[in-house]
Amino acid sequence: MLPETLTTAVPPTPRAWYAHLYVQVLLAILGGVALGHFFPATGEALKPLGDAFIKLVKMVIAPVIFLTIVTGIAGLRDLSSVGRIAAKTFAYFLFFSTLALIVGLLVANTVRPGDGLNIDPASLDASKVTDFADKAHETTITGFLTAIIPETFLSSLSGGNILQVLFVSILFGIALATVGERGARVLGLFEEVSLIFFRLVSIVMKAAPVGAFAAMAFTIGKYGIASIASLAQLVATFYVTSLFFVCVVLGLAARIAGFSIFRLIAYLKAELLLVLGTSSSESALPALVEKLERAGCPKTVVGLVIPTGYSFNLDGTNIYMTLAALFIAQACNVELTLGQQAMLLGVAMISSKGAAGVTGAGFITLAATLSIVPSVPVAGMALILGVDRFMSECRSLTNFIGNAVAAVVVSRWEGRLDRAQFDAALAGLLPPVERLPAGEVEA
């Protein structure tokens, strides 16, 4: 049985094909590729426009997360469920993050994309990766954990650190839930404000085609499609491995939870195209939160899983780390023993958390991992620097899908997934924004 808002809605008038956001973003990506390829200088010059869109999205990330978590937790009658949801979330993250690292390791040993390059480590220009290596050394587990606590309450909402927002939101939500009836008025106010921010998200997303066009034009203009040719096997291996992880590994997890990974991907197609165009999963974070809530996932679960997952559940980054590390070793004719590979895996599990939330986290975590495994030269990262940008799109897409699946699975584990609403969303039966009650929007 469908929710009341679905059964009573007037059948929507079909929109023109070009009015759909995902069509506009797809056309923008294609246009950006063409402009960057034929007019590279112009493509590079559009970088500020792409960066401006990313900043525009990041502007609303903190308040969206804060309002989602606070209203979700404060609306709970049993606060012990917050701890239970967090425990299930981290158990899920630990399992699938480790599995992603293992998959990357197994594929690298099977395909061996670095064989035959015969690179002399002494011939590599280590200066190209010095900045990344320095950032990796600066990022420690202790520093990462202490950085979760903001300097002030308000600085957490303005500093751009998702985990700080998460930390403050949970504390504030719990405090609001424990003041009884006196907190009801504040909760009601926050719920009204959250509607305004989701409306703001929908307004910001109208600029998505422009941001995707500029970002893709810059990438192709600066790096060029031809730069992939020299390391085509590595790039292809990474894309195929990520596709396998999404379709088979995450697909199996989705099937066990009672839904289709392909239907979920279709539901999130506009956001996925935005991630592809901007090479940033953060660009679609606010829209992902709204889409999952609208599909029947509870606010509390979405609010805890999605922000935390953006730091602790980076499946695409984890595949990239072990695959790239072994590629560099193979290219430099360094044969790693089983024990050394096990150490590489262990270090990667830690370093992937230590550099979480840092700009360029994939490359920085790789530098952190290689710096602790002396057998593989850190300078070897210079080999993949030219194609890293093209692999970052795949990393971001895999990370994004992994977190979306996690939110639905944890909602299912909690028994709080509105199945009728969820099935309607994935089947494309939800009414468009005009048919929803006042204030509700569709990203």
pLDDT tens digit sequence for 134-179 = 554 455 556 666 778 888 888 888 877 778 888 898 899 888 888 8
The residue range of the domain holding 122 is 10-435
Model pLDDT, residue 15? 66
Tell me if 1 is assigned to some domain. Answer: no
Whether residue 132 has pLDDT greater than 70 = no
d(CA 409, CA 397): 18
pLDDT bucket at 358, cuts 50 / 70 / 90: very low
pLDDT bucket at 8, cuts 50 / 70 / 90: very low
Tell me if 161 is assigned to some domain. Answer: yes
Q: Which residue has the tokens 């089947």?
A: 427
More confident residue, 162 or 125: 162
Model pLDDT, residue 4? 47
Structure tokens at 181: 């009836």
Tell me if 309 is assigned to some domain. Answer: yes
pLDDT bucket at 342, cuts 50 / 70 / 90: confident
- Looking at the structure of the chain, the number of domains it has is 1
Model pLDDT, residue 29? 87
pLDDT bucket at 187, cuts 50 / 70 / 90: confident
Across the chain, what does the average pLDDT equal? 81
Model pLDDT, residue 139? 54
Mean pLDDT of 392-411: 92
**pTM of the shown model:** 0.81
CATH of the domain at 84: 1.10.3860.10
- Residue 236 contacts residue 361 (beta carbons within 8 Å): no
Out of 182-191, 319-328, 373-382, which region has the weakest mean confidence (pLDDT)? 373-382
Tell me if 185 is assigned to some domain. Answer: yes
Model pLDDT, residue 238? 93
Tell me if 442 is assigned to some domain. Answer: no
pLDDT bucket at 264, cuts 50 / 70 / 90: very high
Tell me if 5 is assigned to some domain. Answer: no
Model pLDDT, residue 357? 44
With b meaning 16 or more CB within 10 Å and e meaning fewer, what string describes 362-376? Answer: bbbbbbbbbebbeeb
More confident residue, 225 or 199: 199
d(CA 43, CA 358): 26
With b meaning 16 or more CB within 10 Å and e meaning fewer, what string describes 406-435? Answer: bbbbbbbbbebbeeebbbbbbeeebbeeeb
Model pLDDT, residue 398? 93
Model pLDDT, residue 337? 83
What's phi and psi for 431, nearest 5 deg?
-70, 155
Give, to the nearest 10 degrees, the angle between helix 80-111 and helix 162-177. 160
Highest mean pLDDT among 72-86, 190-204, 337-351, 383-397: 190-204
Tell me if 163 is assigned to some domain. Answer: yes
The Cβ of residue 270 has, within 10 Å, a number of other Cβ atoms equal to: 22
